[in-house]
Amino acid sequence: MDAKVETNAAAGDGKPVLPPGHDPYHHLHDEAYAAPFSEARVGWRDLISVAGRRLESLDGTWNFVLDLHDEGLRQRWFEDAPDPIGGWTTPRDYDDGAWQTTTVPSCWNVMRPEWTYFEGGAWYTREVTVAPGRAGERVFLRVGAANYEARVFLNGVFIGSHRGGSTPFFIELTGHLAAGANRLQINVDNRRRPERVPMNHTDWFNYGGLYREVGLLRVPAVFIRDFGVALVPGSQGRRIAIDVTLSEPTSGTARLRIDGLAEEIAIPVAAGVGRITFDAAPELWSPARPKLYPVRLTFGEDEVADAVGFREIRVEGQRILLNGEDIFLRGICVHEDDRDLGKVSTEADIRRRFADAKALNANFLRLSHYPHHELAARIADEVGLLLWEEVPVYWAIDFANPDTFADADNQLREMIRRDRNRASIVIWGVGNENADTDARLAFMSGLAASCREMDPTRLVSAACLINREHFRVEDRLSEALDVIGLNEYFGWYEPSFDGLKRLFANSDLDKPLVITETGADAVAGREGRPGELFGETHQSDLYERQLDLVESAPYVRGFCPWILYDFRTERRQTAYQRGWNLKGLIAADKTTRKKAFTTLSERYSELAQQQTPAGA
């Protein structure tokens, strides 16, 4: 038990006495202990563009302990001085000097076999020494992602919290920093809860931890918080819009330079915001020619730099047009999951993902079911792949709960803010397989509206379900979408393909449809007879049948099956699966290709030949 005591010299005997009113047993009976640590919550408005900025890395070794009972919050561990145990006058229940260490970024589930299924709180502690900077400089902590809720403490004081397991957050440290060593503690809680996003039921593994990079960012007193550079929709690639948001409601002039396009463009800024459009004729970005332009933006003492591609994506009737040309999305879904690293994505892993997608002759990836590492879209920009990014509004979200909406909306806006300058991203996904209820319609239409408000340059979609009552593509949400995503598992969960024929025959769409999932489990190396479940033959045959049918429906403008690699999911426990979803075209070793990989790559090669140059 913790007794926060002070030595009261006046007491005369040198023994510690309790401060007035302090009850050392209080925390045993206080079930509202967590409430203060959900305050000071940061969100999408607090994000800062890191484009071209140098982050001082805090990755590497941290002290680490699991905290199943939230004792650290109940007993306020963070307030205790980090004295060695031998010098204590009252007992404590923690001793960060005695903990094991871990490496950030990482997931605790893959650190020790006995922690594989741990869901709860954990503490990360390290010293941070911040060298003095220029006068007026501000220092922010940036966490790339922490699943799911994070609370940050500096020098014994709670300074901010964040929820949402796959988007970055910033907390300002200026004013809390001491000269010399500072003690930084981050409490991360990955408990699944029915009212969170995702909720407690998902078909992927709930990894916990500080699993993306952590660093410090120094910026001047007034800095560029956010900026966007994109083609003006409908301008035929002839006009560019730039918008800038400063950290303060200051006025002045921001200056933009785009090498090879614009020498120096002045952007008047009033009350912290500015927006202009100007004529330009950039070479357009496409998967075939992923042209990027170096962009530099300055305001006062601050500068950001990026490499940006210009392209236009829109729908016209049942078609998807990239730079005005019809495109068929030859896709594949992918999770962030690694047998050894869990949810940690390294640059090498992302590049392998994209190299495998290119080997499939794909031009599109659905980054499911949550925002992936930001590097993914940067690399897709560079190598020429189109992306769908989505938020984990998955299955039975608590759609009637306004706080759940606030959480989902914040995650969506954080994703858009983080990635809106990436040409590769063409679709924002607002959900996956949610039942068509009134509450869900209001919730997800609200998310679609947020997408349009934040970013008028991209398409909005969601992976919908088949309407089984009318057996057709019919979902009230489609009104709010540009592209209808459809998950269907004919040939797997529903053995016959007749349903797919019926579905296509019954459906009459005025928008493009993308098959956002289909597939079958197959144990790598287990050939199986035709029709035999969990065999590679059946998986490969399913791809052939699906593509035959899909290609016959004119409004199907993309095929994005499930999934590139086998991935961990504890809800699958047959003799074949044992905690893994085996619908990958490649096994969990990320090397062994199943037969269906070749099948799809051949079919995509044929489709690519029919494609206009932009989508090739």
Shortest distance, position 434 Cβ to ligand GCB, whole Å: 10
Q: Which of residues 301-360 bind ligand GCB (CB under 6 A)?
A: none
Q: Which of residues 256-295 bind ligand GCB (CB under 6 A)?
A: none
Strand partners, 230: 241
Residue 208 or 584 with smaller CB distance to ligand GCB: 584
Applying CB under 6 A, among 46, 414, 517, 541 the residue interacting with ligand GCB is 517
562 part of the interface to ligand GCB, by CB under 6 A: yes
Helix axes 374-383, 402-419, angle to 10 degrees: 40
Fill in the amino acid letter for 106: S
| Distance in angstroms (rounded) separating the CA atoms of residues 171 and 73 | 19
| Distance in angstroms (rounded) separating the CA atoms of residues 486 and 65 | 42
566 part of the interface to ligand GCB, by CB under 6 A: no
Tokens matching residue 531 = 């029709």
Applying CB under 6 A, among 75, 106, 411, 432 the residue interacting with ligand GCB is 432
Applying CB under 6 A, among 53, 126, 353, 583 the residue interacting with ligand GCB is 583
Shortest distance, position 562 Cβ to ligand GCB, whole Å: 5
Residue 111 or 522 with smaller CB distance to ligand GCB: 522
| Distance in angstroms (rounded) separating the CA atoms of residues 216 and 173 | 9
Shortest distance, position 440 Cβ to ligand GCB, whole Å: 15
Look up residue 202 and give its DSSP letter: -
SS3 content of the chain, % helix, strand, coil (to 5): 20, 30, 45
Residue 63 or 581 with smaller CB distance to ligand GCB: 581
Those residues with Cβ within 8 angstroms of residue 426's Cβ, 6 or more apart along the chain or in another chain = 313, 322, 386, 387, 388, 458, 459
State the residue number with the nearest CB to ligand GCB: 203
Tally of residues, the chain? 616
Applying CB under 6 A, among 461, 581, 599, 611 the residue interacting with ligand GCB is 581
433 part of the interface to ligand GCB, by CB under 6 A: yes
Residue 351 or 572 with smaller CB distance to ligand GCB: 572
Look up tokens 């869990």; give the residue: 342
Residue 53 or 590 with smaller CB distance to ligand GCB: 590
Residue 247 or 516 with smaller CB distance to ligand GCB: 516
| Distance in angstroms (rounded) separating the CA atoms of residues 181 and 242 | 41
Q: Which of residues 165-184 bind ligand GCB (CB under 6 A)?
A: none
CA atoms within 13 A on the CB side of 74: 19
Residue 62 or 204 with smaller CB distance to ligand GCB: 204
Residue 2 or 541 with smaller CB distance to ligand GCB: 541
Residue 426 or 522 with smaller CB distance to ligand GCB: 522
Look up tokens 């501000």; give the residue: 138
Residue 106 or 434 with smaller CB distance to ligand GCB: 434
Shortest distance, position 462 Cβ to ligand GCB, whole Å: 11
190 part of the interface to ligand GCB, by CB under 6 A: no
Shortest distance, position 611 Cβ to ligand GCB, whole Å: 27
The string over 384-418, giving b where at least 16 C-beta atoms fall within 10 Å of a residue's C-beta and e elsewhere, is: bbbbbbbbbbbbebbbeeeebbebbbbbbbbbbbb
Residue 96 or 517 with smaller CB distance to ligand GCB: 517
Shortest distance, position 575 Cβ to ligand GCB, whole Å: 17
Q: Is the peptide bond before 233 cis (omega within 30 degrees of 0)?
A: no
Residue 369 or 413 with smaller CB distance to ligand GCB: 369
Tokens matching residue 357 = 């997608």
Shortest distance, position 489 Cβ to ligand GCB, whole Å: 7
Shortest distance, position 431 Cβ to ligand GCB, whole Å: 10
Shortest distance, position 492 Cβ to ligand GCB, whole Å: 8
Applying CB under 6 A, among 106, 323, 363, 487 the residue interacting with ligand GCB is 487
Those residues with Cβ within 8 angstroms of residue 157's Cβ, 6 or more apart along the chain or in another chain = 78, 176
Residue 218 or 369 with smaller CB distance to ligand GCB: 369
| Distance in angstroms (rounded) separating the CA atoms of residues 282 and 292 | 10
| Distance in angstroms (rounded) separating the CA atoms of residues 243 and 132 | 32
- Smallest CA-to-CA distance from 185 within 159, 210, 152 is with 152
Tokens matching residue 283 = 């070479």
Q: Which of residues 118-157 bind ligand GCB (CB under 6 A)?
A: none
Q: Which backbone phi and psi does 253 adopt, to 5 degrees?
A: -130, 125
Shortest distance, position 583 Cβ to ligand GCB, whole Å: 5
203 part of the interface to ligand GCB, by CB under 6 A: yes
Fill in the amino acid letter for 414: E
Residue 433 or 474 with smaller CB distance to ligand GCB: 433
| Distance in angstroms (rounded) separating the CA atoms of residues 17 and 6 | 6
Distances (CA, A) of 317 to 215, 555, 610: 46, 9, 20
Shortest distance, position 429 Cβ to ligand GCB, whole Å: 11
| Distance in angstroms (rounded) separating the CA atoms of residues 206 and 196 | 13
| Distance in angstroms (rounded) separating the CA atoms of residues 464 and 487 | 6
Tokens matching residue 568 = 């961990």
546 part of the interface to ligand GCB, by CB under 6 A: no
565 part of the interface to ligand GCB, by CB under 6 A: no
Shortest distance, position 565 Cβ to ligand GCB, whole Å: 12
Please count the other Cβ atoms lying within 10 Å of the Cβ belonging to residue 220: 18
Q: Which of residues 353-372 bind ligand GCB (CB under 6 A)?
A: 369
Euclidean distance between the first and the last CA atom of the chain, given in angstroms as a whole number: 65
Distance of CA 164 to the CA centre of its chain: 9
Count of residues touching ligand GCB (by CB under 6 A): 9
Residue 414 or 433 with smaller CB distance to ligand GCB: 433
> 3-class secondary structure for 484-536?
EEEECCECCCECCCHHHHHHHHHCCCCCCEEEEECCCCECCCCCCCCCCCECH
Shortest distance, position 582 Cβ to ligand GCB, whole Å: 9
Shortest distance, position 203 Cβ to ligand GCB, whole Å: 4
Shortest distance, position 590 Cβ to ligand GCB, whole Å: 18
Distance of CA 402 to the CA centre of its chain: 22
Q: Please give the residue ranges that form the binding site for ligand GCB (CB under 6 A).
A: 203, 369, 432-433, 487, 517, 562, 581, 583
